[in-house]
Amino acid sequence: MLTLIFYALIGGVVSLIGGLLIVWKSKSTLKIITPLVSFAAGAFMGVSFFDILPEALAGVKESHYIFAWLLGGYFCFFVMERFIMRYFHRHKLEGEGHNDHTESLPVLVVVGDSLHNFLDGIVIALSFVANPALGLTTALAVAAHEIPQEIGDFVILLDRGWSKAKIILVNIASSLLTVAGAVIGYYAAQLFAAWLPFLLAAVAGIFLYIAASDLIPEIHHRAGHKQVYGIILSFLFGMISIAYLVSLAH
Protein backbone atom coordinates (compact mmCIF):
# COMPACT_ATOMS: atom_id res chain seq x y z
CA MET A 1 0.00 0.00 0.00
CA LEU A 2 2.84 2.44 0.80
CA THR A 3 4.28 1.79 -2.63
CA LEU A 4 0.94 2.59 -4.26
CA ILE A 5 0.63 5.81 -2.24
CA PHE A 6 4.12 6.81 -3.37
CA TYR A 7 3.17 6.19 -7.00
CA ALA A 8 0.00 8.26 -6.54
CA LEU A 9 2.06 11.13 -5.11
CA ILE A 10 4.26 10.97 -8.20
CA GLY A 11 1.20 11.12 -10.44
CA GLY A 12 -0.44 13.96 -8.53
CA VAL A 13 2.19 16.26 -7.09
CA VAL A 14 4.90 16.09 -9.79
CA SER A 15 2.42 17.49 -12.31
CA LEU A 16 2.39 20.78 -10.35
CA ILE A 17 5.94 21.65 -11.45
CA GLY A 18 4.89 23.69 -14.47
CA GLY A 19 2.21 25.53 -12.50
CA LEU A 20 4.63 26.41 -9.72
CA LEU A 21 6.92 27.97 -12.33
CA ILE A 22 4.00 30.09 -13.53
CA VAL A 23 3.36 31.37 -9.99
CA TRP A 24 7.07 31.96 -9.35
CA LYS A 25 7.23 34.18 -12.45
CA SER A 26 3.80 35.70 -11.83
CA LYS A 27 4.71 39.25 -12.93
CA SER A 28 6.00 38.00 -16.27
CA THR A 29 3.02 35.67 -16.58
CA LEU A 30 0.46 38.46 -16.18
CA LYS A 31 2.05 40.37 -19.07
CA ILE A 32 1.24 37.56 -21.47
CA ILE A 33 -1.92 36.32 -19.78
CA THR A 34 -4.16 36.23 -22.88
CA PRO A 35 -1.94 33.81 -24.87
CA LEU A 36 -1.54 31.73 -21.72
CA VAL A 37 -5.32 31.53 -21.27
CA SER A 38 -5.46 30.43 -24.91
CA PHE A 39 -2.86 27.76 -24.11
CA ALA A 40 -5.02 26.66 -21.17
CA ALA A 41 -8.08 26.33 -23.43
CA GLY A 42 -6.09 24.24 -25.90
CA ALA A 43 -4.76 22.06 -23.07
CA PHE A 44 -8.27 21.41 -21.74
CA MET A 45 -9.46 20.53 -25.25
CA GLY A 46 -6.42 18.34 -25.82
CA VAL A 47 -6.69 16.41 -22.57
CA SER A 48 -10.38 15.74 -23.35
CA PHE A 49 -9.94 14.51 -26.94
CA PHE A 50 -6.43 13.00 -26.90
CA ASP A 51 -6.33 11.49 -23.42
CA ILE A 52 -9.52 11.09 -21.38
CA LEU A 53 -12.08 10.31 -24.09
CA PRO A 54 -9.96 7.70 -25.93
CA GLU A 55 -9.24 6.04 -22.58
CA ALA A 56 -12.95 5.96 -21.80
CA LEU A 57 -13.84 4.53 -25.22
CA ALA A 58 -11.16 1.83 -24.90
CA GLY A 59 -12.86 0.52 -21.77
CA VAL A 60 -16.31 -0.19 -23.25
CA LYS A 61 -17.84 -2.07 -26.14
CA GLU A 62 -20.71 0.38 -26.74
CA SER A 63 -19.52 3.94 -27.38
CA HIS A 64 -23.05 5.40 -27.30
CA TYR A 65 -23.10 5.44 -23.50
CA ILE A 66 -19.69 7.11 -23.33
CA PHE A 67 -20.91 10.05 -25.38
CA ALA A 68 -24.05 10.24 -23.24
CA TRP A 69 -21.86 10.60 -20.12
CA LEU A 70 -19.69 13.13 -21.97
CA LEU A 71 -22.77 15.25 -22.61
CA GLY A 72 -23.91 14.65 -19.04
CA GLY A 73 -20.66 16.04 -17.64
CA TYR A 74 -20.96 19.08 -19.89
CA PHE A 75 -24.56 19.67 -18.84
CA CYS A 76 -23.85 19.24 -15.11
CA PHE A 77 -21.22 21.97 -15.19
CA PHE A 78 -23.55 24.24 -17.16
CA VAL A 79 -26.10 23.78 -14.37
CA MET A 80 -23.45 24.26 -11.69
CA GLU A 81 -22.25 27.52 -13.21
CA ARG A 82 -25.78 28.88 -13.47
CA PHE A 83 -26.38 28.17 -9.76
CA ILE A 84 -23.01 29.64 -8.76
CA MET A 85 -23.73 32.81 -10.72
CA ARG A 86 -27.25 33.04 -9.33
CA TYR A 87 -26.84 32.22 -5.66
CA PHE A 88 -23.19 32.40 -4.59
CA HIS A 89 -21.94 35.70 -5.94
CA ARG A 90 -22.88 39.27 -5.22
CA HIS A 91 -24.64 41.16 -7.96
CA LYS A 92 -22.30 43.25 -10.07
CA LEU A 93 -22.89 46.80 -11.16
CA GLU A 94 -24.74 47.27 -14.41
CA GLY A 95 -22.40 46.84 -17.36
CA GLU A 96 -20.23 44.19 -15.69
CA GLY A 97 -22.04 41.22 -17.17
CA HIS A 98 -18.84 39.82 -18.63
CA ASN A 99 -17.32 39.57 -15.16
CA ASP A 100 -20.44 37.75 -14.01
CA HIS A 101 -19.75 35.15 -16.66
CA THR A 102 -16.17 34.45 -15.56
CA GLU A 103 -16.41 34.88 -11.79
CA SER A 104 -17.44 31.23 -11.36
CA LEU A 105 -14.55 29.97 -13.50
CA PRO A 106 -12.13 29.24 -10.59
CA VAL A 107 -14.71 27.02 -8.88
CA LEU A 108 -15.34 25.09 -12.09
CA VAL A 109 -11.62 24.65 -12.74
CA VAL A 110 -10.85 23.44 -9.22
CA VAL A 111 -13.81 21.03 -9.10
CA GLY A 112 -13.09 19.65 -12.56
CA ASP A 113 -9.39 19.19 -11.86
CA SER A 114 -10.12 17.56 -8.49
CA LEU A 115 -12.40 14.99 -10.11
CA HIS A 116 -9.78 14.31 -12.75
CA ASN A 117 -7.05 13.82 -10.13
CA PHE A 118 -9.27 11.44 -8.17
CA LEU A 119 -9.90 9.33 -11.28
CA ASP A 120 -6.19 9.40 -12.12
CA GLY A 121 -5.59 7.84 -8.71
CA ILE A 122 -8.06 5.09 -9.50
CA VAL A 123 -6.32 4.43 -12.84
CA ILE A 124 -2.96 4.15 -11.05
CA ALA A 125 -4.47 1.75 -8.50
CA LEU A 126 -6.03 -0.49 -11.16
CA SER A 127 -2.70 -0.62 -13.00
CA PHE A 128 -0.89 -1.39 -9.75
CA VAL A 129 -3.28 -4.24 -8.92
CA ALA A 130 -2.65 -5.75 -12.36
CA ASN A 131 1.14 -5.32 -12.11
CA PRO A 132 3.09 -3.18 -9.59
CA ALA A 133 5.61 -2.19 -12.27
CA LEU A 134 2.76 -1.03 -14.50
CA GLY A 135 1.54 1.13 -11.60
CA LEU A 136 4.79 3.12 -11.66
CA THR A 137 4.68 3.52 -15.43
CA THR A 138 1.09 4.74 -15.22
CA ALA A 139 1.96 7.23 -12.46
CA LEU A 140 4.78 8.70 -14.56
CA ALA A 141 2.50 8.92 -17.59
CA VAL A 142 -0.18 10.68 -15.52
CA ALA A 143 2.34 13.19 -14.18
CA ALA A 144 3.72 13.92 -17.65
CA HIS A 145 0.47 14.64 -19.46
CA GLU A 146 -1.00 16.54 -16.49
CA ILE A 147 1.73 19.21 -16.62
CA PRO A 148 0.24 21.35 -19.45
CA GLN A 149 -3.23 21.17 -17.90
CA GLU A 150 -1.91 22.18 -14.47
CA ILE A 151 -0.15 25.15 -16.07
CA GLY A 152 -3.52 26.15 -17.47
CA ASP A 153 -5.13 25.84 -14.03
CA PHE A 154 -2.50 28.06 -12.41
CA VAL A 155 -2.82 30.66 -15.17
CA ILE A 156 -6.59 30.87 -14.78
CA LEU A 157 -6.49 31.22 -10.99
CA LEU A 158 -3.68 33.77 -11.15
CA ASP A 159 -5.65 35.78 -13.70
CA ARG A 160 -8.73 35.69 -11.44
CA GLY A 161 -6.72 37.48 -8.74
CA TRP A 162 -5.98 34.55 -6.43
CA SER A 163 -2.89 34.94 -4.23
CA LYS A 164 0.15 32.75 -4.86
CA ALA A 165 -0.26 30.95 -1.53
CA LYS A 166 -3.95 30.21 -2.15
CA ILE A 167 -3.25 28.89 -5.65
CA ILE A 168 -0.49 26.60 -4.42
CA LEU A 169 -2.45 25.28 -1.42
CA VAL A 170 -5.63 24.61 -3.42
CA ASN A 171 -3.73 22.82 -6.18
CA ILE A 172 -1.76 20.71 -3.72
CA ALA A 173 -5.01 19.71 -2.01
CA SER A 174 -6.54 18.89 -5.39
CA SER A 175 -3.49 16.85 -6.39
CA LEU A 176 -3.63 14.84 -3.16
CA LEU A 177 -7.00 13.51 -4.31
CA THR A 178 -4.90 11.30 -6.58
CA VAL A 179 -3.79 9.51 -3.40
CA ALA A 180 -7.40 9.23 -2.19
CA GLY A 181 -8.43 7.82 -5.56
CA ALA A 182 -5.56 5.31 -5.48
CA VAL A 183 -6.46 4.03 -2.00
CA ILE A 184 -10.17 3.74 -2.77
CA GLY A 185 -9.44 2.22 -6.18
CA TYR A 186 -7.18 -0.39 -4.59
CA TYR A 187 -9.90 -1.63 -2.22
CA ALA A 188 -12.75 -1.31 -4.72
CA ALA A 189 -10.95 -2.26 -7.91
CA GLN A 190 -13.77 -4.33 -9.41
CA LEU A 191 -16.41 -1.65 -8.82
CA PHE A 192 -14.34 1.19 -10.28
CA ALA A 193 -13.07 -0.91 -13.18
CA ALA A 194 -16.69 -1.19 -14.35
CA TRP A 195 -17.61 2.48 -13.89
CA LEU A 196 -14.31 4.16 -14.70
CA PRO A 197 -14.90 4.64 -18.47
CA PHE A 198 -18.17 6.46 -17.85
CA LEU A 199 -16.73 8.66 -15.09
CA LEU A 200 -13.80 9.56 -17.34
CA ALA A 201 -16.23 10.52 -20.12
CA ALA A 202 -18.05 12.84 -17.71
CA VAL A 203 -14.75 14.51 -16.77
CA ALA A 204 -13.98 14.96 -20.49
CA GLY A 205 -17.34 16.74 -20.82
CA ILE A 206 -16.47 18.94 -17.84
CA PHE A 207 -13.16 20.01 -19.39
CA LEU A 208 -14.85 20.67 -22.73
CA TYR A 209 -17.35 22.91 -20.96
CA ILE A 210 -14.61 24.89 -19.22
CA ALA A 211 -12.70 25.36 -22.49
CA ALA A 212 -15.60 26.07 -24.84
CA SER A 213 -18.02 27.93 -22.58
CA ASP A 214 -15.68 29.92 -20.33
CA LEU A 215 -12.13 30.15 -21.64
CA ILE A 216 -12.72 30.70 -25.36
CA PRO A 217 -15.30 33.51 -24.84
CA GLU A 218 -12.84 35.05 -22.35
CA ILE A 219 -10.06 34.92 -24.96
CA HIS A 220 -12.25 36.65 -27.57
CA HIS A 221 -13.23 39.32 -25.05
CA ARG A 222 -9.64 40.03 -24.04
CA ALA A 223 -7.99 39.92 -27.45
CA GLY A 224 -10.69 41.57 -29.54
CA HIS A 225 -9.25 42.13 -33.01
CA LYS A 226 -5.65 41.90 -31.79
CA GLN A 227 -3.15 39.08 -31.20
CA VAL A 228 -4.64 36.87 -33.90
CA TYR A 229 -1.62 34.68 -34.59
CA GLY A 230 -0.36 34.61 -31.01
CA ILE A 231 -3.75 33.44 -29.75
CA ILE A 232 -4.12 30.77 -32.43
CA LEU A 233 -0.59 29.44 -31.96
CA SER A 234 -0.96 29.35 -28.16
CA PHE A 235 -4.21 27.40 -28.46
CA LEU A 236 -2.62 25.00 -30.94
CA PHE A 237 0.45 24.54 -28.74
CA GLY A 238 -1.79 23.66 -25.79
CA MET A 239 -3.43 20.87 -27.80
CA ILE A 240 -0.20 19.63 -29.38
CA SER A 241 1.65 19.48 -26.05
CA ILE A 242 -1.05 17.21 -24.62
CA ALA A 243 -1.10 15.04 -27.75
CA TYR A 244 2.68 14.67 -27.70
CA LEU A 245 2.89 13.75 -24.01
CA VAL A 246 0.03 11.27 -24.36
CA SER A 247 1.80 9.65 -27.33
CA LEU A 248 4.97 9.29 -25.22
CA ALA A 249 2.96 7.81 -22.34
CA HIS A 250 1.48 5.16 -24.62
**For 114-135, what is the mean pLDDT?**
87
Burial 126-165 (b: 16+ CB within 10 A, else e): bbbbeeeeebbebbbbbbbbbbbbbbbbbbbbbbeebeee
**Prediction pTM value:** 0.81
pLDDT mean across residues, the chain: 85
Using alpha carbons only, give the angle 48, 49, 52 rounded to the nearest 5 degrees: 50
Query: Measured between alpha carbons, how far is 73 from 199 in angstroms, rounded to an integer?
Result: 9
Going by pLDDT thresholds of 50, 70 and 90, the confidence category of residue 137 is confident
Provide the percentage of residues in the chain whose pLDDT is more than 70.
Answer: 92
CA–CA distances in Å: residue 100 to residues 84, 114, 196, 222, 229: 10, 23, 34, 15, 28
pLDDT at res. 104: 78
pLDDT at res. 208: 94
Domain ranges of the chain: 2-249
**For 12-38, what is the mean pLDDT?**
84
Residue 149 in this model has a pLDDT that exceeds 50: yes
Residue 108 in this model has a pLDDT that exceeds 80: yes
Residues 6+ apart with CB under 8 A from 144: 15, 245, 248, 249
Tell me if 238 sits within 8 A of 43, measured CB to CB: yes
Of 76-80, 84-88, 112-116, 142-146, minimum mean pLDDT range: 84-88
Residue 100 in this model has a pLDDT that exceeds 80: no
pLDDT tens for 40-77 read 999 999 989 998 899 899 889 888 999 999 999 999 99
Going by pLDDT thresholds of 50, 70 and 90, the confidence category of residue 169 is very high
pLDDT at res. 131: 79
Going by pLDDT thresholds of 50, 70 and 90, the confidence category of residue 101 is low
pLDDT tens for 85-99 read 777 655 444 444 445
